[in-house]
């Protein structure tokens, strides 16, 4: 049986508040389903580019985990935006959170 999952809107609100307190610019670019919308995190690292983290589900382990939609290396911001637009065209319920962090960290990943 899977672990209880915090609603998407609560995860987003908590992250925006925590980042605000740390002085990390964070913006909700797209609002999704408040209860169970999958979250995409676009992290802008300035001249080094962007990475996009997305929630994925491991059916064998019955758990969510974070992966990089952009692969191992950062991409140009325009490419990151195209990838997000493509995902939104498939699923209108996703959330998109944009974060500025030169270390390219995912604020929602506890690891």
Single pTM value for the model: 0.90
More confident position, 96 or 61: 96
- Contact status, residue 56 vs residue 65, Cβ threshold 8 Å: yes
Nearest CA to 6 out of 37, 50, 40 is that of: 37
Count of other CB atoms within 10 angstroms of residue 34: 13
* pLDDT of 56: 85
Give residue 43's Cα distance to chain centre. 8
* pLDDT of 99: 97
Local confidence band at 2 (pLDDT 50, 70, 90 cut-offs): low
Q: DSSP H helical segments within the chain, as ranges? A: 8-22, 77-90
pLDDT digits (tens, 9 = 90+) for 27-82: 999 999 999 899 999 999 999 999 999 988 888 988 888 999 999 999 999 999 99
pLDDT digits (tens, 9 = 90+) for 19-28: 999 999 999 9
* pLDDT of 62: 87
- Dihedral, CA atoms, 105, 64, 95, 106, nearest 10 degrees? 0
- Domains of the chain in start order, with CATH, are 8-100 (3.40.1530.20)
Local confidence band at 3 (pLDDT 50, 70, 90 cut-offs): low
Using DSSP's 3-state secondary structure scheme, residue 8 falls into: helix
């Amino acid at each position: 049986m899977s672990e209880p999952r915090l609603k998407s809107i609560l995860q987003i609100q908590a992250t925006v508040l925590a980042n605000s307190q740390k002085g990390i610019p964070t913006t909700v670019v797209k609002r999704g389903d408040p209860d169970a919308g999958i979250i995409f995190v676009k992290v802008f690292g300035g001249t080094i580019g962007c990475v996009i983290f997305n929630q994925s589900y491991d059916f064998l382990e019955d758990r969510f985990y974070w992966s990089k939609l952009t692969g191992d290396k950062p991409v140009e911001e325009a490419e990151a935006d195209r990838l997000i637009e493509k995902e939104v065209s498939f699923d209108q319920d996703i959330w998109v959170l944009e974060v500025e962090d030169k270390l390219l960290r995912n604020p929602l990943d506890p690891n």
